[in-house]
Chain A
Amino acid sequence: MGKPSKYTLSSTSTGILQLSLRGSWTVDAGVPDFGEVLAELDNRTRRIFFETSALESWDSVLPVFLNRFLPVLEERKVEVDLEGLPGGVRKLLRLAEENRGKKRVEVESPADLASKLGNYTLAGFKQIGEMAVFSLDLGRDFTRLLLGRTYFRPRDLLYFIQNCGASALPIVSLIAILVGVILAFIGAIQLEMFGAQIYVANLVGIAMLLEMGAVITGIVMAGRTGASYAAQLGTMEVNEEIDALKTMGVSPLAFLVIPRMLALILMLPLLCIYADFLGILGGGLIGVGMLDLSFTEYFIQTREALNLRQFGEGVFKSLIFAFLVGFAGCFYGIHCGRSAAAVGRAATSAVVAAIVMIVIADAIMVVVFNLL
């Protein structure tokens, strides 16, 4: 293989050329250039025929080569005799011939910046509209649920509670302790300069209660539960399971979305409280281990620094975050397209949207709570 030339062109009589193909014309062996053949063609050439006795093997490379080559011959009004080619090659050429000249269907995609920007904006507005409709529907179905006019399976709610409560404890524990450790560590370096190590307890306690407990559990649940909600509901949409619910008269919002969101709203505040405690514990480890404080000192200092209002603010935040994570997960799941790729996109969008909304909502709440 890899012979320099895979064809020879010879003249049998005036104006008649014989193109002999030899060796292997396969994808592995590479496609020869036909420039050489063209160079040997001249105005006197009237007819060309093929000779393939030395051709060892061929695949689609050969018809592709001929397909490039034949139109050139046609243009030069050279008669082409395909008889010498293997039967399979002639068949493939004939099949391709039927489709020659068909225009490639261009998929519409506006290239210029302005229309791209316009399309993104319109899509954004459309999504905001869909979210508004989704919220209204959610409210309507929740009312109907309270009136006993629709239902979900209690077992589903219990399952989701287990899933976003107890099952989330290991990861929340790990992250909460580490966040406490990190906060204490950063604080310790700064406060040691003033000999005020003891205030590490204030720093860690207030940060955990006000901010970190709610935000980190919110973000962990966005990645863990929000994404899984979006993927579950998206898969159900792809499998027409949601359609099957609709045609049975069961509202997918009441049956699928509300138990999921309720479970999150019930469990996230509890996870947040749990994270608060573990964060303080993590800070205590640094306080005791690095700053020569005793456990009692550290925890008395912590207790002094904290009040119920801080605790309440954090828990309230986590309640809002729970709603946002559940909302994003379920919204993108229910509005998933009908393909496997769409399920992946839905999960990604759910996580990204949940985290963005958590941060925005947190900023708003920090300002509002400060004014109150």
Chain B
Amino acid sequence: MTIDRTVIEAEGLTLAYDEKIVQENLFFQVLAGDIFVIMGGSGCGKSTLLRHLIGLQRPERGKVRYEGLDLEDMTEEERHRFLKRMGVLYQQGALWSSMTLEENVSLPLFYHTSLSVKMTAELARFKLSLVGLAGFENFYPAEISGGMRKRAALARAIALDPEFLFFDEPSAGLDPLSARRLDELILEIRDSLGATVIMVSHELASIYTVATNSVFLDTRTRTMLATGNPRNLLRESEDTTLIEFLSRGTGKREVSLL
């Protein structure tokens, strides 16, 4: 992997939700291998930005580029190939409720590869065992706990060994220990797959633990205040809103994880 290779680029991105402008004029770059965190207060448009990055919503203005290619300009085939390279973990997991865990993880494999049924099932079981869910293959999403559902969704997100992994508040709604374990799991998976991770989070603990790069969206001004490594931002930024967020309201310029 080449260092400092820009893989995702937002250029003058303006996001709208229900015809209401959520964020304006976003410029940032994600480098290959980054763990890029989208941070900001509640309701500032973090998830909306993520939806734009994965192509679920069209930008009001501006562009999202993947390796120089505009998401909007992709042909159907290019888009299909691009979708194969990415995995998404949704906020509530978004497992398909009418399928078992194994079927959930198998579907992307089945859809994007021409592997045999046997091989697909074997791969799906392997991915489930990676997230600690070996033995739960035949359970339906409604039959397992919230934390397990998130992990199963993670197994589905990494089913195709994606190069881009998107997480929408992975640890939201989990107890601190499960949240931390999930963070560790994400780190391990990123290291083993060599993927670029983009995640939405407002958990400072996980931001400081995992992030190498970030963008901060402000609720009041409806635009980004800064982009960069959150630790450096905390040390060097002059912006009071950003410092207040990063220091959990204390204004101290050093990372405290509690």
Contact = CB atoms under 8 A, between A and B. Distances in A.
Given A239-B97, A244-B96, A249 B83 contact: yes
Interface in B86-142: 86, 88, 90-92, 94-98, 107-108, 111-112
A341 to B, nearest CB: 16
B178 to A, nearest CB: 20
A330 to B, nearest CB: 15
A246 B56 CA distance: 8
23 contacts: A156-B98, A235-B97, A236-B96, A239-B92, A239-B94, A239-B97, A240-B94, A241-B95, A243-B51, A244-B88, A244-B96, A246-B56, A247-B55, A247-B56, A247-B86, A247-B88, A248-B107, A248-B112, A249-B79, A249-B80, A249-B111, A249-B112, A250-B111
Contacts of A248: 83, 107-108, 111-112
B132 to A, nearest CB: 21
Contacts of B91: 240
B54 interface: yes
Contacts of B111: 151, 248-250
Interface residues of A, number: 15
Contact of B84 (A239, A241, A243, A249): A249
Interface of A: 151, 156, 235-236, 239-241, 243-250
Contacts of A151: 111
Nearest to A240: B94
B252 to A, nearest CB: 25
A240 to B, nearest CB: 4
A179 B47 CA distance: 53
Nearest to A243: B56
Interface string B58-94: 0000000000000000000001100110101011101
Contacts of A236: 96-97
Given A249-B80, A249-B83, A249-B84, A243 B94 contact: yes
A239 B104 CA distance: 15
B139 to A, nearest CB: 17
B83 A247 contact: yes
A243 B84 CA distance: 15
Contacts of A239: 92, 94, 97
A245 B98 CA distance: 13
A248 B107 CA distance: 9
Give 9 closest A-B pairs by Cβ, nearest first. Answer: A240-B94, A249-B83, A244-B94, A240-B90, A247-B88, A241-B94, A249-B80, A248-B108, A247-B54
A244 B55 CA distance: 12
A239 B149 CA distance: 12
For chain B, give the interface size range. Answer: 20 to 34
Contacts of B79: 249
Given A235-B97, A243-B94, 16 more contacts: A156-B98, A236-B97, A240-B90, A241-B94, A241-B96, A243-B56, A243-B90, A244-B90, A244-B96, A246-B56, A247-B54, A247-B55, A248-B83, A248-B111, A248-B112, A249-B112
B210 to A, nearest CB: 22
B97 A241 contact: yes
B100 to A, nearest CB: 12
A236 B93 CA distance: 12
A133 to B, nearest CB: 14
A205 to B, nearest CB: 42
Interface in B4-23: none
B97 A240 contact: no
A368 to B, nearest CB: 39
B17 to A, nearest CB: 11
B155 to A, nearest CB: 13
Contact of B107 (A235, A243, A247, A250): A250
Contacts of B55: 247
Contacts of B56: 243, 246-247
A247 B90 CA distance: 11
Contacts of A240: 90-92, 94
A286 to B, nearest CB: 44
A260 B103 CA distance: 19
A248 B85 CA distance: 9
Nearest to A244: B94
